[in-house]
């Protein structure tokens, strides 16, 4: 029952994180109250939504992904983020939830704009520095894993002149390393590269056979945001207690 409660709470929080991610630029310039205040409305017809149209996940399924008034399509992003946030709340230790909420907003923004806002990633780094203080088992390597991952991503960014990797990914790698320590942090990054490669190849194949209708064409030279893969890798590494140093896992 606790996990069910956490999942429901996470889905509700995920609905809010969706708004933050989508309105981050307005939030940064217009203030919290002016940006997040007021009732939610349909992006197509601007009709103010009723309470039964705002139930996380279920409203999308019941309405079949369309506005009740104008029939305009509702993005799949809303239920996916709500579902994912619910799963994160139910599967990670409570103390990690705040930083993963920041990670989710970073994921939303990076997917839309292919950039990681500094205020978000710096907040994640600060939280990642604070949370390990509650764990007495952190070793010296665990504390240095963040700078090591930062140096790894930063070197890719520098050598490729920003074409292969963004500097924001280096900052996010710093946060993940500090948060998860050496074994799970390094495992998260390896997993991120695997997921990114497999996901991109699958997308390329589905695009080629025209399975994905009305979607952006992806080529080998396309720019792909990497932050979502880092965040998913961090979540899975923490959830399954992955340890890249144990060869048996491979």
Whole-model pTM: value is: 0.90
Compute the radius of gyration of the chain from its Cα atoms.
19
Query: 153-210: per-residue pLDDT in tens?
Result: 999 999 999 888 999 999 999 999 999 999 999 999 999 999 999 988 888 777 776 6
Domain ranges of the chain: 1-91, 106-250
Share of the chain above pLDDT 70, in %: 88
Q: What's the rounded mean pLDDT across residues 127-132?
A: 91
If you ran DSSP here, which 8-state letter would residue 233 be given?
H
Any idea what the Cα angle at residue 17 is, between residues 154 and 37, rounded to 5°?
Answer: 125
Q: What is the pLDDT of residue 198?
A: 92
How much is the average pLDDT of 142-157? 95
Contact 47, 70 (CB under 8 A): yes
- At 50-77, the pLDDT tens digits run 778 888 999 899 888 888 878 888 889 9
Instruction: In the chain, count H helices and then E strands.
Output: 10, 0
Given pLDDT bands bounded at 50, 70 and 90, which one contains residue 26?
Answer: confident
Question: In terms of pLDDT, which residue wins out, 249 or 166?
Answer: 166
Average pLDDT, the chain: 87
In the structure, what pLDDT confidence band is assigned to residue 33 with cuts at 50, 70 and 90? very low
Residue 229 φ/ψ region, left for φ over 0, alpha for ψ in the -120 to 50 degree band, beta for the rest:
alpha
């Amino acid at each position: 029952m606790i996990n069910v409660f956490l999942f429901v709470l996470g889905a509700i929080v995920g609905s809010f994180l969706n708004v933050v991610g989508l309105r981050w630029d307005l939030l940064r310039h217009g203030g919290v109250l002016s940006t997040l205040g007021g009732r939610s409305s349909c992006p197509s017809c601007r009709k103010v939504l009723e309470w039964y149209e705002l139930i996380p996940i279920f409203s999308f399924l019941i309405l079949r992904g369309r506005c009740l008034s104008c029939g305009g399509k509702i993005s799949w992003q809303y239920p996916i983020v709500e579902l994912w946030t619910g799963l994160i709340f139910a599967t990670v230790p409570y103390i990690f939830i705040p930083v993963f909420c920041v990670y989710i907003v970073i994921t939303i923004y990076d997917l839309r704009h292919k950039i990681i806002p500094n205020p978000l990633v710096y907040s994640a780094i600060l939280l990642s520095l604070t949370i390990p203080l509650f764990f007495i088992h952190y070793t010296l390597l665990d504390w240095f894993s963040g700078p090591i991952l930062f140096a790894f991503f930063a070197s890719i960014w520098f050598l490729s002149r920003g074409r292969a990797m963004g500097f924001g990914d280096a900052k996010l790698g710093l946060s993940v390393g500090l948060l998860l320590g050496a074994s799970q942090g390094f495992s998260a990054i390896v997993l991120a590269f695997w997921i990114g490669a497999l996901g991109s190849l699958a997308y390329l194949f589905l695009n080629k056979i025209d399975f994905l209708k009305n979607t952006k064409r992806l080529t080998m030279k396309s720019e792909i945001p990497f932050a979502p893969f880092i965040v998913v890798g961090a979540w899975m590494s923490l959830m399954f207690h992955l340890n890249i140093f144990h060869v048996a896992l491979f």
